[in-house]
Amino acid sequence: MCNPLAIGAALMAAGTAKQNSSSRKAARARSSYKNNYYALNDALMNEAGAAQKTSQDTMEKPAFDEGVAEQYQKLLEGFTGNNRSVLPTTSAAAGAPAIVQNENDLRMAQAAATKLDLDKGLADLNSVSNYLTTTVNPQLNNSRATTGMTGGFQRGNASVLGTELEAANALANDQLAQLMIAGGQTAMGYGLMAPTAPGNITGGVGGIPSPAPKIIY
């Protein structure tokens, strides 16, 4: 006849081992999912940080001054090179006295110098706004868009992590292991409560006869 105690103990041991294995598998899965989550979040934060730093760099004094100076030079070249900035050339009438020609040349040089000063002032006036329009504002827009996009990815990443952790927790719910443990407990309980062997008048536990009662005369 099978020994229910031995069967119960074996079932419980096997079930416990199987449940422990499933729990370890679930723990490894949770750890892997969390590591992936943190790695992706770090990458997204670094991307957003890099975009924001680029925007900040455009506003730092060395870069700002260099950018403004570059815009000034471009504007000045445009002002002095286009048609409105070119003064009409006039010359004294042929055969005019030298004093007239000299005076004409002097006036033309003064007008050219005055126009150059005006061009420089205009270029200086517009250089800052041009730098902001062509460099700073586009970079700020880019960093805003990048930060918003990475923030959306981070929220999605958190949602995925929740689903993955639920799946990992499900791995620990080993139905077969739990059935084996429950069956082992039932078998052991049955073995401990088994009836006494035939012919044992005084009864006992597990088929072991109880000692005979003492008779006092």
Could you tell me what percent of the chain has a pLDDT over 90?
A: 10
Domain ranges of the chain: 4-84+97-195
CB 111 within 8 A of CB 87: yes
- Of 158, 151, 146, which is closest to residue 36 (Cα–Cα)? 158
Give the amino acid at 65. D
State residue 214's pLDDT score. Answer: 43
Model confidence band, residue 201 (pLDDT cutoffs 50, 70, 90): very low
Show the tokens assigned to 115: 């126009």
Q: What is the tens place of the pLDDT at every residue in 116-173?
A: 888 888 889 899 999 999 998 998 898 889 888 888 888 888 888 888 888 888 888 8
Mean pLDDT, the chain, as a whole number? 79
- How far, in Å, CA of 185 to CA of 7, rounded? 10
Please provide residue 204's backbone torsions phi and psi, each rounded to the nearest 5 degrees: 170, -170
Cβ contacts of 22 within 8 Å, gap of 6 or more: 171, 172, 173, 174, 177
C-alpha radius of gyration, the chain, whole number:
47
Per-residue pLDDT band at 1 (split at 50, 70, 90): low
Amino acid identity, position 128: V
Once rounded to an integer, what is the mean pLDDT over residues 55-67?
A: 87
Whether pLDDT at 85 is above 80: no
For the four alpha carbons of 68, 74, 76 and 78, in that order, the dihedral sign comes to negative
- Which parts of 82-204 fold into alpha helices (H)? 98-131, 137-171, 175-192
